[in-house]
Amino acid sequence: MKITVIGCGYLGATHAACLASLGFEVLGVEIDPARRTALERGVLPFFEPDLPELLVEQVESGRLRFTDDMAEAAAFGDLHFVCVGTPQRADGMGADLTHVEAAVASLAPHLDRAALVVGKSTVPVGTAQRLQEILRTTAPAGDAVEVAWNPEFLREGFAVKDTLEPDRLVLGVRSEVAEARLREVYAQPIAAGCPVIVTDFPTAELVKVAANSFLATKISFINAMAELCDVTGADVVTLADAIGYDERIGRKFLNAGLGFGGGCLPKDIRAFRARAEELGVKDALRFLHEIDRINIRRRKRVIKIARAELGGRLPGKRIAILGAAFKPNSDDIRDSPALEVAATLHEKGVRVVVHDPEAIPPARKKHPELEYADTIEAACEGADLVLHLTEWLEYRALDPAELGEIVAGKRMVDGRNCLDLAAYQEAGWTVRSLGRPSVA
């Protein structure tokens, strides 16, 4: 079986390289010439641990190559994975399906034999059925072209592992043939014990957005608790530890701080709400509006704390921002809480100096007005205040005593609640966290 991967951004490039590593012949379809050329050279246009080496290996092996020709893709592939993006619409909260629909519409006229078109993109429920109708009416092979839905569950920073060793596989199919083909694709992880859920289109489409909505809810719940801890003197980290021992709740994702960002959780919960309203059940997901609001409030809270730490005055101050990516082990700045805080402080007259191990190039492109530093030391030198906003290991491993020698003021806001407060206290720092008593 030969496989094509349509759309070779973050999801598609990862999926293509991993499938090639499993022994399949894979043809990636990418219409962006710069991205395609880079991938053909084995160069990734984004940062993801372990993927660069895998990409080079598979390209050099000949199992993975790239094209922009849909006719070539249709002639080559027996199974076509659709991995294009579904960003938030510019005119509302719903998902923009332009790229998904364009990919299928471009492929369909060339499908003159039996094929399986598998969606991996995160889409509103009902999309798979609509795409099936498009293929049935426009593909020369008609009913011999089937749709299946196989949502992705990648975590940025762990994408290769999550593809090759998934914690579950969801197969939305309508025939035994489609199920058998997907089981063949994933034979290795299935043999290793990966659970397989075989279901219908609507359920498969709902799984990803439901999972992301639940994770967002857990994060915003503990951040709401942090707001209460701030006014009562309680410690949100101890609170999270205590309730996390309840196996019905669990400790994961109960980490209070600056909140979530990235290209999935924020836009997915908004698109989910929008789709529920279209379906006439908006009250069912009304709570997601408050989840979103709690998350946004965390960014404002950090700015409020920064102002308080600087005596109520921000203009003219120098603040070091540690982190620009929305999470560590990534250069993704989409809806990054850290970068939004940096930009807002700049607008308020602060001299902001940003450091990030990987995300400076995309951050500089989006916010050229900010100042960037190549080293932590350069960012923090002479700083009146340091904001720790992305939990890179480099930041957690900093020596508070050494850092204290280069700043103008030993004041830190730990926006991720993961620094060693005792070590900073011993080194003479004042540290403010979100939902924890201040340390001085």
Mind telling me the catalytic residues? 264
H or E element in which residue 211 lies: helix 201-232
Nearest CA-CA partner of 412 in 310, 315, 326: 310
Q: Does residue 225 come out as left (phi exceeding 0), alpha (psi in the -120 to 50 range) or beta?
A: alpha
Phi, psi of 201 (to 5 degrees): -60, -55
CB 117 within 8 A of CB 182: no
> How far is residue 132's CA from residue 112's CA, in Å, rounded to a whole number?
15
Phi, psi of 148 (to 5 degrees): -140, 160
Nearest CA-CA partner of 275 in 321, 208, 341, 327: 208
> How far is residue 107's CA from residue 97's CA, in Å, rounded to a whole number?
16
H or E element in which residue 255 lies: none
Strands (E), 195-331: 196-199, 318-322
What's the distance, CA 267 to chain centroid?
A: 10
Nearest CA-CA partner of 338 in 275, 400, 413: 413
> How far is residue 240's CA from residue 352's CA, in Å, rounded to a whole number?
32
What's the distance, CA 266 to chain centroid?
A: 9
Phi, psi of 353 (to 5 degrees): -120, 120
CB 333 within 8 A of CB 339: yes
CB 122 within 8 A of CB 91: no
| The two structure tokens encoding residue 337 | 């809480």
Beta strand 385-388 pairing with 79-82: unpaired
The distance in angstroms from the start CA to the end CA of the chain is: 63
Phi, psi of 170 (to 5 degrees): -110, 120
Go through 5-34 and write b for each residue having 16 or more CB atoms within 10 A of its CB, e for each that does not. bbbbbbbbbbbbbbbbbbebbbbbbbbeee
Q: What is the CA radius of gyration of the chain?
A: 24
Q: Which amino acid is at 59?
A: V
